[in-house]
Amino acid sequence: MTSPPALRLLLIEDDADLAGLLTEVLADEGYRVDAARDGQRGLHLGLTRPYDVMVIDRVLPAIDGLNLLTRLRSRSVQARALMLTALGAVDDRIAGLDAGADDYLVKPFELDELAARLRALCRRAFDTAETVRVGDGWLDLGLRDVVLPDGSRVALSLREFDLLRVIAMTPTRVHSRSGLRRQVFDDAHATSIVDTYVYYLRRKLGRSVIRTVHGVGYRLGEL
Separation between Cα atoms, residue 198 and residue 192, nearest integer Å? 10
Q: How far apart are CA 212 and CA 15, in angstroms?
A: 45
Half-sphere exposure of 41 (CA within 13 A, CB side): 12
Instruction: Confirm whether 85 is domain-assigned.
Output: yes
What is the full per-residue pLDDT of the chain (223 aa) written as tens digits?
Answer: 333 446 789 999 999 999 999 999 999 888 889 999 999 999 999 988 778 899 999 999 999 999 999 999 888 787 889 999 888 777 888 888 888 898 989 989 999 999 999 988 877 665 555 778 898 888 888 778 898 888 888 999 989 998 998 899 888 889 999 989 988 887 778 889 999 999 999 999 999 999 999 989 999 998 8
Total number of domains constituting the chain: 2
**What is the domain extent for residue 61?**
8-128
Residue 190: partners with Cβ closer than 8 Å, 6 or more residues away: 181
What does the angle CA 113 – CA 114 – CA 117 come to, to the nearest 5 degrees? 85
Is the distance from CB of 14 to CB of 37 less than 8 angstroms?
A: yes
The pLDDT of residue 128 is 55
Give the predicted TM-score (pTM) of the model: 0.60
166 and 93 in one domain? no
Q: Which of 102, 128, 154 is the last residue of a domain?
A: 128
User: Do 200 and 136 sit in the same domain of this protein?
Assistant: yes
Task: Judge whether 55 lies within some domain.
Answer: yes
Q: Which of 128, 146, 161 is the last residue of a domain?
A: 128
The answer to the question of residue 102 being in a domain is: yes
- Same domain for 139 and 173? yes
Residue 1 placed within a domain: no
Do 172 and 213 lie in one domain? The reply is yes
CB 10 within 8 A of CB 46: yes
* 143 and 73 co-located in one domain: no
79/138 Cα distance (integer angstroms): 12
Are residue 101 and residue 140 in the same domain, yes or no? no
